[in-house]
Amino acid sequence: MRDDIDELMAHHDGELPGQDAERRFDDPESRELLGKLAKADKAFASAADELLDIPVPSKLVDAIRQPQPKTAEIIPFPRRRGIVGLAIAAGLATVIATNTQLFQPPANPGADAQPAGYAALLQETMESVPSGEMRSSDDGSVSILPMVSFKTDAATYCREFMSSQNGAEFSGVACRDRAGSWTLLSQQGGASASGGDAYRVAESREAKAEAPQTPNRAAELSYAEEQEAIRSGWKGSGL
Amino acid sequence: MSSDFTEDLVSLLPRLRRFALTLTGDLDQADDLVQQACEKALLKQDQWQVGTRLDSWVYRIIQNLHIDQLRSQGRRSEHLHEDSVDELVDAGSKGLPERENMLSVLSRIIDELPEEQRLVMLLVAVEEHSYREAADILMIPVGTVMSRLARARTRIMATLEAADAGPERGKENA
């Protein structure tokens, strides 16, 4: 293969406009290769165009034209059971941590330090990712899966999520404050060394003074309501 | 929700499905991806810049969703490893049941190409996206787009030449 094949292809693809390129590749060998490239493209396009003939299912068209209201996707997860209810019923002194303290790794003997970027990933995921869709860090070491969104009696939006960090799984609840930050109210589970379903609370001595009322779950959001909340930037929410 | 935007998406469906099918090699998975991508596009339609290509934007959503799904399944997408993919045959689709369906739809020319090479061929050679646009959609460097194109075309040209040379030789080179 000739050394300037990339340039020849770029010329073929119109990425090298101008007469200089025309002159540069105006020799018999180049013209022959350009002809072969065109033939290869035509063969591929002919095959690819067959895919356009596959009938589009009407259910797909309908799903786009008329999205059906559905409840937010809730992923079955054993430790999820009762996570919020447990916090409420037990009247736990749920503590709000500052954003810095918020994402300290939960007590998890043997676990490495929280991966870099976790806080940002959680903020981004809570803010914009619908329930049931997972987001992962670039290196794949951390994944966060929102499970359900709900509104508290105080009209604050909160979200339950599941998180996998270096192989250990946690679930938690985060609520959106007036400044637009998602604050972790509780975190549960993790490595088996933590005692399975032991409920964990993010602790912060400074934050204790600002501890809010434990959020009561007034209503879970439907899929459509959650979409609207995301679209509007969780308008009206705030601790 | 803008009805025009919705109808624009609907009119793009055949091409969105083709892109997703090229990505996954499975029609059911492709339709799931397309539906999720369209729902996301509708939700975030205010983020799409009027005057830019809507297909490019939705392609990228599909690509992102696909990467997320691979990650959630614990798989590393081959196209995340630029050094190793270009010479690979599409091992991900070998032996899968859907490969039978794939073969019934795609010609051997397409099917023999690795997923990464199929995608750049589809975007550049068929849909006439620029190298820059293809790179943005696939989230890879322009240089990688060019190298994948070169490999794809080299392989297709070899297949065509083998076919032109005769069935027996074509089989030997298959």
From B77, B101, B128, give the residue that closes a domain: B77
Structure confidence at residue A102 (pLDDT):
34
A70-94 CB burial, b ≥16 within 10 A, e <16: eebeeeeeebbeebbeebeeeeeeb
Write the pLDDT tens digit of every residue in A91-140: 222 333 333 333 333 433 333 445 557 788 888 899 988 877 778 887 77
Residues A5, B152, B23, B6: what is their CA dihedral angle, to the nearest 10 degrees?
Answer: 60
User: Where does residue A207 rank: exposed (0-12), middle (13-18), buried (19+ CB within 10 A)?
Assistant: middle
Structure confidence at residue B61 (pLDDT):
93
> Is residue B7 a part of any domain in this protein?
yes
Task: Please indicate, yes or no, whether residues B64 and B99 belong to a single structural domain of this protein.
Answer: no
Angle between helices A5-12 and B142-165 (to 10 degrees): 90
A-contacting residues in B 137-156 (Cβ below 8 Å)? 146-147, 149-150, 152-154, 156
Provide the residue type at B13 as one letter: L
Average pLDDT, 10 consecutive residues per value, chain B (174 residues): 83 95 88 92 87 91 88 53 37 42 54 88 94 90 91 89 64 48
**Angstrom distance (rounded) from CA A214 to CA A170:** 20
Per the structure, how many domains does chain B have? 2
Tell me if B157 and A36 make a contact (CB, 8 A cut-off): yes
Residue A75 in tokens: 């992923």
- By C-alpha distance, the chain A residue nearest B9 is A64
Structure confidence at residue B110 (pLDDT):
76
* Separation in Å, CA of B96 to nearest CA in chain A: 19
Structure confidence at residue A67 (pLDDT):
65
* Separation in Å, CA of A107 to nearest CA in chain B: 25
From B77, B99, B128, give the residue that closes a domain: B77
Query: Do B145 and B152 touch, CB atoms closer than 8 A?
Result: no
Task: Please indicate, yes or no, whether residues B61 and B19 belong to a single structural domain of this protein.
Answer: yes
DSSP A9-41: HHHHTTSS-SHHHHHHT-SHHHHHHHHHHHHHH
**Angstrom distance (rounded) from CA B95 to CA B87:** 19
Q: Which of A4, A50, A60 to mutate to test the interface with B (most CBs of B within 10 A)?
A: A60
From B77, B102, B126, give the residue that closes a domain: B77
Structure confidence at residue A237 (pLDDT):
62
Structure confidence at residue B11 (pLDDT):
95
Structure confidence at residue B107 (pLDDT):
60
Residue A195 in tokens: 């005692």
A-contacting residues in B 18-47 (Cβ below 8 Å)? 18, 21-22, 27, 31, 34-36, 38-39, 42-44, 46
Task: Please indicate, yes or no, whether residues B46 and B117 belong to a single structural domain of this protein.
Answer: no
Task: Please indicate, yes or no, whether residues B59 and B100 belong to a single structural domain of this protein.
Answer: no
The domain ranges of chain A are 5-52, 78-231
Structure confidence at residue A68 (pLDDT):
56
> Is residue B83 a part of any domain in this protein?
no
Structure confidence at residue A211 (pLDDT):
33
Tell me if B131 and A227 make a contact (CB, 8 A cut-off): no
Average pLDDT, 10 consecutive residues per value, chain A (239 residues): 82 83 86 92 87 89 74 41 30 31 36 62 88 77 81 83 76 84 74 35 34 57 80 73
Structure confidence at residue A41 (pLDDT):
93
What range defines the domain where residue B103 resides? 89-174
Structure confidence at residue B152 (pLDDT):
93
Task: Please indicate, yes or no, whether residues B68 and B46 belong to a single structural domain of this protein.
Answer: yes
Structure confidence at residue A1 (pLDDT):
67
Coil vs helix vs strand at A81 = coil
Task: Please indicate, yes or no, whether residues B6 and B43 belong to a single structural domain of this protein.
Answer: yes
Structure confidence at residue A117 (pLDDT):
74
**Angstrom distance (rounded) from CA A85 to CA A178:** 24
> Is residue B84 a part of any domain in this protein?
no
> Is residue B82 a part of any domain in this protein?
no
Task: Please indicate, yes or no, whether residues B20 and B71 belong to a single structural domain of this protein.
Answer: yes
Task: Please indicate, yes or no, whether residues B73 and B103 belong to a single structural domain of this protein.
Answer: no
Coil vs helix vs strand at A163 = strand
